[in-house]
Amino acid sequence: MSGSMVQFPANGHTCDGYLSLPPKGSGPGLIVVQEWWGLVDHIKTLADRFAAEGFVALAPDLYHGERTTSPDQAGKLLMALNIAEAGKDMRGSATYLRALGAVKPKKVGILGFCMGGQLALFAAQEHPDVIDAAVDFYGIHPKVEIVPARVKVPVLGHFATRDKGVPLASVHALADAVKKAGGSFDVYEYEADHAFFNDTRPQVYDAAAAALSFSRTLTFLRKALA
């Protein structure tokens, strides 16, 4: 890993995060939101991957030090997460990035996976003054409500046809409602399982879907954050 842990103010307290800088030293900001496991090495590696593509990438620790490899414990951490506080941590992440000299232009995108995908969409909804675009990889969280009329920044979504937890019908209904309200929400489907982007989980990882969604994400972010 080429990044380092940093601390930044968020909602009156301090939040930790993993910051990775692009080779050329500057670029637009990008918040990388964790899955339900926490800020594990996989997420740090993804921040490094996006940094290598030209983004100043920050992965905030929304669990504040807790992480797990147990699905049962991950589910408990997900359900215990205070969504309002997590939203403020993500706002703090965006504010921190915007203040960095390395972030040029002063634009910040947000993306996340599983729990993080839904949180990324939520943060974009709640804080469009500091977040300029969002990418949702098969986002799911039962406590996060998305209000279509409040989604004002462009959104890109990646979803799996074999994902039983995120029905494609509900995905398209949300995207259509966002577009009907004047927003932008482009959806791509992949013949894959939930978490197809996570190459540390061989039972669900799909190399072709991961590569294609990564390429589409880079194209989307480079346009939205130019």
| 27 in Cβ contact with 55 (< 8 Å) | yes
Diameter of the chain measured on Cα atoms:
43
CA distance 95 to 159: 29
**Closest of 10, 179, 177 to residue 94, by C-alpha:** 10
Q: What are the structure tokens assigned to 182, written together? A: 């004047």
Q: Say how far apart CA 56 and CA 74 lie, in whole Å.
A: 28
d(CA 21, CA 56): 5
* Residues catalogued as catalytic: 114, 163, 194
Q: How far apart are CA 65 and CA 48, in angstroms?
A: 20
